[in-house]
Amino acid sequence: MFERVRRAAGAVLAAALLLASRPPADRAPDDPAGRAMGGRQAAAHRVEHLRVKVLKTLPHDPQAFTQGLEMAGATLYESTGLSGASSVRAGPPGQPPAARVALSAPLFGEGITVLGRTLWQLTWRNRTAIERDAKTLAELRRVPYADDGWGVCLQRARHRLVTSDGSSRLTFRDPRSLAKTGEVAVTEEGRPVTELNELECVGAAVYANVLPTDRIVRIDPATGAVTASIDASGLLRDDERVPGATLNGIAAVPGTDQFLITGKFWPRMFRVALVPA
């Protein structure tokens, strides 16, 4: 009996030693610190580097302090800012707007997004969002908006708005009431990305202008991770850049993988494709 116990104890000890010699399932044999798992996580958040390729150049109102840009069907909607000079416009891209409504001072127009028959226009620090008829641009109602208004876009599949306020945070909102339903911090390789401005929702991704740069980032709103950094520099000549003429405005062209982009006080708008940098 003693011999059987001794043999059983020896078998248990041997099995324990064998298990101890094996690395965990998420760790490579030569990676005792678990660096292999960290490498896979880093690869999952690796940033793709893209640039814009100009396909077409269109005229743009050089007096427009562009704060929001979005296409719905064949109509381009644009929201412009500055107190006393703010407006919302709608019409074919590159042509005079078919409809235009001015915002009285002190309202400062910001981001815009279309929800079918209506649209939302944010204001900067006026603590107000304006719902409008998408065809006539007539004001339908005003809703209190507690944050600074910057960018806004609609994620149709999630039935929610995504908004920015100039920080590194994206806020999710009910598309009817604008009540907050969640938020996510935006990071690029672990570092916060601040001054997120005009937004465009495309499928599951969110594109954001980064003020005051010529850079656009593509964000996974589920995690806040930047999945692509897009270089949009070199579109304007130096002599065309008046003070305040920063890139701000990105609109997906429906039915394509192309975008319209422009900026504040820019004399031109560009139809672009995104290609590897």
For residues 22 and 103, state if they share a domain.
no
Q: Is residue 63 part of a domain?
A: yes
For residues 61 and 25, state if they share a domain.
no
Q: Which of 34, 61, 30 is nearest to 269 (CA)?
A: 61
Percent of the chain with pLDDT over 70: 84
d(CA 146, CA 12): 65
**Span 180-231, pLDDT tens digits:** 999 999 999 999 999 999 999 999 999 999 999 999 999 999 999 999 999 9
Is 170 in a helix, a strand, or coil?
strand
d(CA 69, CA 89): 10
Residues in CB range of 186: below 8 A, 6 or more apart: 168, 169, 170, 192, 193, 196, 208, 217, 219, 224, 225, 226
**Span 80-96, pLDDT tens digits:** 999 999 999 999 999 99
Q: Which amino acid is at 229?
A: S
Q: Is residue 137 part of a domain?
A: yes
- As separate numbers, helices (DSSP H) first and strands (DSSP E) second, the chain gives 2, 22
For residues 144 and 15, state if they share a domain.
no
Q: What is the pTM of this model?
A: 0.84
Residues in CB range of 90: below 8 A, 6 or more apart: 75, 76, 77, 78, 97, 98, 99, 100, 134, 137
Residues in CB range of 232: below 8 A, 6 or more apart: 51, 52, 214, 215, 216, 247, 261, 272
Query: Domain count of the chain?
Result: 2
For residues 107 and 187, state if they share a domain.
yes
Dihedral sign (CA 19, 20, 21, 22): positive
For residues 145 and 31, state if they share a domain.
no
Q: Is residue 241 part of a domain?
A: yes
User: Read out DSSP for 49-92?
Assistant: EEEEEEEEEEE--TT--EEEEEEETTEEEEEE-STTT-EEEEES
For residues 64 and 21, state if they share a domain.
no
Q: Which of 274, 275, 276, 272 is nearest to 58 (CA)?
A: 272
> Per the structure block, which two tokens stand in for 55?
């396909």
For residues 140 and 18, state if they share a domain.
no
For residues 9 and 144, state if they share a domain.
no
Q: Is residue 40 part of a domain?
A: no
The domain of 197 spans: 46-276
Provide the residue-wise pLDDT of the chain in tens; the chain has 277 residues.
Answer: 434 434 444 443 344 333 343 333 333 333 333 333 333 333 457 999 999 999 999 999 999 999 999 999 999 999 999 999 999 999 999 999 999 999 999 999 999 999 999 999 999 999 999 999 999 999 999 999 999 999 999 999 999 999 999 999 999 999 999 999 999 999 999 999 999 999 999 999 999 999 999 999 999 999 999 999 999 999 999 899 999 999 999 999 999 999 999 999 999 999 999 999 9
Our measurement of the distance from residue 237's CA atom to the centroid of its chain's CA atoms, rounded to an integer in Å, reads 26
What's 185's domain CATH number? 2.130.10.10
For residues 204 and 263, state if they share a domain.
yes
d(CA 229, CA 49): 5
For residues 123 and 30, state if they share a domain.
no
